Structure 1
């Protein structure tokens, strides 16, 4: 399996929508909203098999204190190949040692994140979106 990782390539919104739907990650399915999510990301790591998007890791950060890993999605058939772990590693390398990486997990991924170095926290709060 030949996977390449990119940090300077912004995929098409339709590619991201297909990936998220296939991976079971609930995200908007309108291309305009996805395009804005991609445009406003501070760090985007993508995984490709030839010209096929097979993974995405989207982060919002201030680069010196904290970073929010907003999306991590990998095509189902590629989930055991270490793609998510590698995208997280690239993200951490790009952020540097002084920046904390945090996220809100979907319930189906609770067991995954401790395996790739995240600590489970019980001190988060959120206000849900209305749309």
Structure 2
């Protein structure tokens, strides 16, 4: 089944929940809070999607960027039923093409996902720091 990859400006919380909930990223996101998810989607500068022939969302890249130097990838998720078909790497490549050669993409990998990011050519560093949120709902 061929997938359609596109930059989208409006993705619904319901689509996000269906896709991300069917991925390993799901347990780390507030899937029970559609209002917060919609705010996350609406606040994103770059959303790239992979949809199947029914229009169902099977993969998503969600990022925040200044369009000149860096893009922070907040989500790269592929529904488990679509994994192993280069969906994640195609989402990353599509985002990189939209951003252009002057913009780096930075992300925090889930534990255990480092091998995937190495396989698609991302550089790993140990100099990551973050301040965690206190509200996870």
RMSD between aligned residues: 1.0
Q: How does 1:33-112 map to 2 (within 5 A)?
A: 33-50=36-53, 51-112=55-116
Contact in 2 for aligned 1:47/1:56 (Cα 8 Å):
yes
Contact in 1 for aligned 2:5/2:50 (Cα 8 Å):
yes
Instruction: Return the TM-score normalized by structure 1.
Output: 0.95
- Structure 2 regions of 5+ residues with no counterpart? none
Instruction: Return the TM-score normalized by structure 2.
Output: 0.91
- Paired residue total: 131
Instruction: Tell me: CA distance 1:17–1:69, structure 2 relative to 1, closer, same or farther (3 Å).
Output: same
Q: Which ranges of 4 or more aligned residues in structure 1 deviate by more than 6 Å? A: none
- Distance in 1 between the 2:20 and 2:13 partners? 11
Q: Give the alignment partner of residue 28 of structure 1, picking from 22, 27, 30.
A: 30
Secondary structure, aligned partner of 2:51: strand
Could you report, residue by residue, the CA deviation over 1:13-71 in whole angstroms, capped at 9, with x for unpaired residues? 01111211210212111111111111111110000002111000001011111110110
